Amino acid sequence: MDSLVLSFHEMEQSELSLVGGKGLNLGLLSTIQGIQVPEGFSVTTVGFQRAVEQIEMYHTLLARLSKLNPEDRNQIGEVSKGIRDVLLNVTIPTDVVEAVTHYHSRFGEEHAYAVRSSATAEDLPLASFAGQQDSYLHIIGKDSILKHIRKCWASLFTDRAVIYRMQNGFDHSQVHLSVIVQRMVSPQVSGILFTADPVSSNRKVLSIDAGFGLGEALVSGMVSPDSYQVKDGMIIDKRIETKKLAIYGVDGGGTVMQPIPPDQQKEEALTDEQVLRLSRIGRKIEAHFDCPQDIEWCLEDDSFYIVQSRPITTLYPIPEAIDGENRVYLSVGHQQMMTDAMKPLGLSFFLLTTPAPMKVAGGRLFVDCTPRLASPASRQSFIELMGKSEPLIKDALTTIVERQGFIKTVEDEAMPAPRKGGVDPIDPDPAIVAELMEKSESSIEQLKRTIHAKTGSELIDFILEDMKELKRILFDPESSQVIMAAMDALFWINDHMYEWLGEKNVADTLSQSVPNNITSEMGLALMDVADVIRPHQAVIDYLRQEKDDNFLDELVKVEGGQEARNAIKGFLTKYGMRCSGEIDISRVRWSEKPTTIVPMILSNIEQFEPQESKRKFEKGRLEALEKERELLDRLSSLPDGEQKVKETKRRIEIIRHFTGYREYPKYGMIQRYFAYKQALLKEAERLVEQNILQEKEDIFYLAFDELQDLVRAHEPEDDLICKRKEEFNFYEKLTPPRVITSDGEIITGEYKREDLPAAALAGLAVSSGVIEGRARVIVNMEDANLEEGDILVTAYTDPSWTPLFVSIKGLVTEVGGLMTHGAVIAREYGLPAVVGVERATERIRDGQRIRVHGTEGYVEIL
């Protein structure tokens, strides 16, 4: 009898696999001093398995279900219904019936009970299955309870629950159901309590919803509840709604919906004292489970009863602060055009590369900008600088700074105020850039020659040592000076040409086809690969077939194949270390998966004539030269024209000679990362041979210092790696915030724009012009199917997306700033672009006609 049915008090030590998430949480809640949980018991998963183990039909249908995909809706519906019918008519084993009878009489046969399902995959810290299985209220009598136990078992196979499990990678045969039978209270008021604000994610704000009668009316959305917010023991917000309906239990069993008399509909469901008492109960439960909770509660005769508590799984994790002070964190991913979750090794490589004080949360990096905001000397210039690249971040930071007392002001003598007039003057000499690139190239060649011979601990030490060289090159003062000079010149031109000539964003045209932009050159180089392949139909046909990543070896057997292979290999030698999300060292590179670039090559063959890359570059260069001539001509006729021309000409020279270099340091960094990665994967292969790792890619789930320990100690870390994989799968589903505080509050920021047409989507203007066309909403670069004249709409672009830019006429992204990748390349290719458009990939549908206003910074859906 023991493991077939357990009371709440017996199950505190029992396993999740016996009583499911809901059951285990009720067992744990029952142990907390001062928390009242109505009595009850759980028919365990052993009881469920005992009931189905001999039924052949159940196992046959389950096997059929496991072969289906989420898309096979009709077959899922048919098989699921078959399983539900089997379970609704199953004979419950005698020993289970006896155990239920025992507890039912112990807790009182005269009482009404709630019968709820509790799946083994439900209410877990990393996956919320809330509401995937059924609940039945106010059930009276043993026979009725047994009937509803069967109904709960059947609810494990509703279409919705089945599809949800498929989408989240849970095996149907491994998810079992326990059933909770819990004594009902007859509440005057019930509701839900979140110990963190579900809207802003602020962990210090509790949110309470309350309505009359049973909680079902509120949970099912039939009633608008009263809502209260509590912070630091004080009610900070209260909204009292008109509550027209309530659900109550009926004497003979079941529930009924009743209208609330009009004079009581606007009454407050809870008194202030009750709200504060409930908030203290919530904090106590949260402390016990050590994470924010979503709690279902009832109020009967001024006593609170807790009927459920589960972790809130939708909250973004908070970067860890050591000192308990208020902090403000900025997303690094929004600056780096990479908002996806990174694997632990990717995170630790980036942390080893950057000098900025960064924190990890939710598989992403955040930088603590509190010191910049605390100092009056740097606060305003920092916010303005952020605003130039990301207006939404500027607005969010302004909101925080305007809150009295959140950030302590520090009078910091040591931080000099930023100088007016920008960076130190630098000669616009192209030789400076050539020399910087040459130094980087020879350093990387040296690395490639040396790293091959290193293994074991020697390899780890070598990489750590070489990263000093990487940082020396990345943060070379002269390199930074070139980049800053180009940015300054860009802002100077835009500000002064608008002031003197009334023309906006002039620098966009002047930035077209600048030399030495390694990223835009990559897009053009892939057009040149297409030129080599275009005359050879046999190669084109071969590339169109399904192929694996060793296709280059077979290519030589086709007519024209050797030439094609040489062209593709040449491209990969220079650019093969790139890929989408390239700042994460664990990402698969083009050299590792060369099929990634094949669709782009084929698209170039179809869309362009031979030599198009040269014409495209030359067209941009001539437009920039023409714009320069026109500007200087107009300026010369203004008062003090000679001086204006002189200053402007110098800034244009800086833009032309230096802007292209901006993309280069990152290219060097990614080359180095790829060399490290190849060497580490070879080492990982040795560890697999020695049974220290299961597969070589497992190294990506360890931080660099953990990998160092593994290589030295040769002790397997299978459990840690398994845990990291689960965490990473969870983090992948989260959306990182641009700005988050140490309270967990997400400050979104908004565009303060009065000048937009109705229904326009606001963003940041980064590349001038107006263009209309078909929107292609693309989430993964590999799925891109673009035709000339399309407008690319995506979350973010990093350098790996550049080859797609040659086919499009405009760009819209959710993430980005004035100097981030997409903006720089869009200007260089002369594409109108708007970035930072919130939820663009949801608000714009694939195939819609849109108009992109690259000069004014908004998008219209036509």
Least confident of 411-425, 667-681, 714-728, 848-862: 411-425
Q: Of 138, 148, 821, 853, which one is the catalytic site residue?
A: 821
Please state which of the ranges 273-282, 407-416, 600-609 shows the lowest mean pLDDT.
407-416
Would you place residue 228 in the very low, low, confident or very high pLDDT band (cuts 50, 70, 90)?
very high
pLDDT-derived band at 417, boundaries 50, 70, 90: very low
pLDDT confidence tier of residue 357, bands split at 50, 70 and 90: confident
Specify the pLDDT at position 705.
96
pLDDT, position 2: 55
**Residue 64: pLDDT above 70?**
yes
Instruction: Name residue 850's beta-bridge partners.
Output: 773, 861
Q: What is the pLDDT of residues 474-531, one digit of tens each?
A: 999 999 999 999 999 999 999 999 999 999 999 999 999 999 999 999 999 999 999 9
Out of 116-125, 195-204, 512-521, least confident range: 116-125
pLDDT at 419: 45
Mean pLDDT of 194-218: 93
pLDDT band at 416 (very low <50, low <70, confident <90, very high): very low
pLDDT at 421: 44
Position of tokens 């030129």? 531
Residue 12: per-residue pLDDT:
66
- What gap in Å lies between CA 216 and CA 68, rounded to an integer? 33
Contact present, 323 and 41 (Cβ < 8 Å): no
Examine the pLDDT at 127 and tell me if it is beyond 60. no
According to the model, what pLDDT value does residue 386 have? 86
Report how far residue 805's alpha carbon sits from residue 824's, in angstroms, rounded to the nearest whole number. 12
Q: What are φ and ψ of residue 218, in 5° steps?
A: -75, -45
Q: Whole-prediction pTM value?
A: 0.86
Give me the percent of the chain exceeding a pLDDT of 70: 96
Give me 212's structure tokens.
Answer: 């009359």
Q: What is the mean pLDDT of residues 352-370?
A: 93
Q: What tens digit of pLDDT does each residue of 646-675 get? A: 999 999 999 999 999 999 999 999 999 999
pLDDT tops 50 at residue 130: no
| pLDDT computed for residue 159 by the predictor | 86
pLDDT per residue as tens digits for the range 21-62 = 888 999 999 999 999 999 999 999 898 888 988 889 999 999
pLDDT digits (tens, 9 = 90+) for 671-706: 999 999 999 999 999 999 999 999 999 999 999 999
Residue-level pLDDT at 712: 94
Q: What is the mean pLDDT of the chain?
A: 91
Q: What is the pLDDT of residues 840-853, one digit of tens each?
A: 999 999 999 999 99
| C-beta contacts of 249-253 below 8 A and 24+ residues apart | 249/112, 249/137, 249/138, 249/184, 249/186, 249/214, 250/138, 252/140, 253/112, 253/138, 253/139, 253/140, 253/141, 253/144
Q: What is the model's pLDDT at position 405?
A: 84
The yes-or-no answer on residue 496 being catalytic is no
- What confidence category does residue 1 fall into, taking pLDDT thresholds of 50, 70 and 90? very low
Mean pLDDT, residues 725-732: 94
- Count how many Cα atoms sit within 13 Å of the Cα of residue 332 in the half-sphere of its side chain: 24
pLDDT tier at 619 (50, 70, 90 boundaries)? Answer: very high
Task: Report whether 482 contacts 432 (CB < 8 A).
Answer: yes
Which of 351-365, 411-425, 473-487, 651-665 is predicted with the least confidence, judged by mean pLDDT? 411-425
3-state secondary structure 99-142: HHHHHHHHHCCCCCEEEEEEECCCCECCECCCCCCCEEEEECCH
The residue that leads in pLDDT, 478 or 390, is 478
Distance (Å, whole) CA 805 – CA 180: 57
Mean of the pLDDT values across residues 456-475? 96
Rounded mean pLDDT of 430-458? 96
Which among 843, 856, 651, 681 has a CA at the least distance from the CA of 771?
Answer: 856
Q: Is residue 425 pLDDT above 90, yes or no?
A: no
Distances 214 to 294, 308, 820 between C-alpha atoms, Å: 17, 14, 53
More confident residue, 639 or 414: 639
What pLDDT is recorded for position 120? 72
Q: Using CB atoms within 10 Å of the CB of residue 332, give its burial: 0 to 12 exposed, 13 to 18 middle, 19+ buried.
A: buried
